[in-house]
Copies of this chain bind each other. A is one copy, B any other.
Amino acid sequence: MAIEPIEGFLSSAADLSEYIAALLQAGGASSESAEAVARAVVDASSRGVDTHGVRLVPWYIQMLEGGRVNKTPNVTFTKKAAAVGHVDADNGFGHLASFRAIEEGIALARECGVAAVTAGRSTHHGASGVYALAAARAGFAAISMTHADPAVVPFGGTKPFYGTNPISFAVPAPGEEPMLLDMATSSIPYNRIFLRRSTGTPLPPDVAVTPQGEVTTDPFKATAVLPVGGAGFGYKGAGLAAMVDILCSAFSGMGHGFTIDPLAGTDYTKTIPIGHFFLILNPAIFQALATFDARVGAFLADLRRQPAQPGQKVMAPGDVEKAEAARRAANGIPIDRTTWASLAETAERYGCTVPPSRPTSSGKEATA
């Protein structure tokens, strides 16, 4: 749960947002597409969710340049019933379709109390938690899910079948940012295997398997990851992954995760359509808001005062990221050297301006 330190360059959220939106627009993306991606990745990075933050932008630029993503999608919303709607992403960036789904879901839930909005013909949308959090910042509770291409073995299996299929839940909390749970239903991210090959360090026990399905801590023998719960209780993580997959496919009209081409594949010319699922709840319909806030506040207060193991602290979902967000708001958002260099190279090609930054280690201002 700890945030891994990043060596590279520090920049502000405002500068990074403007920079990323400018790069994507220079690459041909519509202004609303570019702004949605910038908003999503900077929101993730500002909270320390670096795996799903600015780091993804060079990859998104490859998608844009290759044609996998529609640069100027005609995103449309269809209301299917009083409390249900569908967003057609038109193969554009999933971030745009997902923010739209939340916005439309809020409008439906304001009246109906709850709304379910699916998105289809979409693409990678970064951190699912971004969208649940956006709803909660507007006073609504939300669940956000996406399915993805296979990376996780089913319980008792040997080959990847499920995506990392995250579940996010956000709820407004009195006097602070919303509580946010944002978790993959896999035990670890798939790319941690490759990271551990680079660093030469073993994987945690009970998270990855060999091609024969044997649990291994050797990153060179591991080829797939287990669902959360591991070899003993992975049927729980796999069951949650199944739920996410069905809600994001059968309900959205997309194929299930096993039918999705590899998102990490190097053919950037072909669209890889995926689906998302969003649920929005209007707390004011369920309870008087003062009562609701008091309940959530009491839950968080009781949880945070629980006795902890030596050297630890009992925290609520998202507390680690809240503390990191405060640090980053004060010190800047760190971007790793590889990502920074890649963005700078794109900026040069596109004739965009690189924003001011300073190295993470020296604390001195770098030349822009």
Contacts and interface: CB of A to CB of B under 8 A. Distances in A.
A112 B82 CA distance: 5
Q: Which secondary structure dominates where chain A touches chain B?
A: mixed
Q: Which of A81, A250, A303 has the most CB of B within 10 A?
A: A250
Interface string A297-327: 0110011001111001111110000000000
Contacts of A316: 242
Interface stretch (A63-71, A88-96, A224-232, A329-337): A224-232
A194 interface: no
Contact of A240 (B161, B167, B204, B207): B167
Contact of A228 (B171, B233, B258, B299): B233
Interface string A86-119: 1000000000000000000000000111111010
Given A183-B236, A308-B213, A314 B112 contact: no
A156 B315 contact: yes
Interface string A198-233: 000000111100001110000000000000111011
Interface residues of A, number: 86
B250 A159 contact: no
A51 to B, nearest CB: 15
Chain copies in the assembled complex: 2
A56 interface: no
A291 B302 CA distance: 46
A255 interface: yes
A344 to B, nearest CB: 35
5 contacts: A80-B113, A83-B114, A84-B286, A169-B243, A249-B295
Q: Which 8 A-B pairs have the closest CB atoms?
A: A84-B113, A81-B113, A250-B295, A156-B312, A181-B239, A213-B309, A83-B112, A114-B116
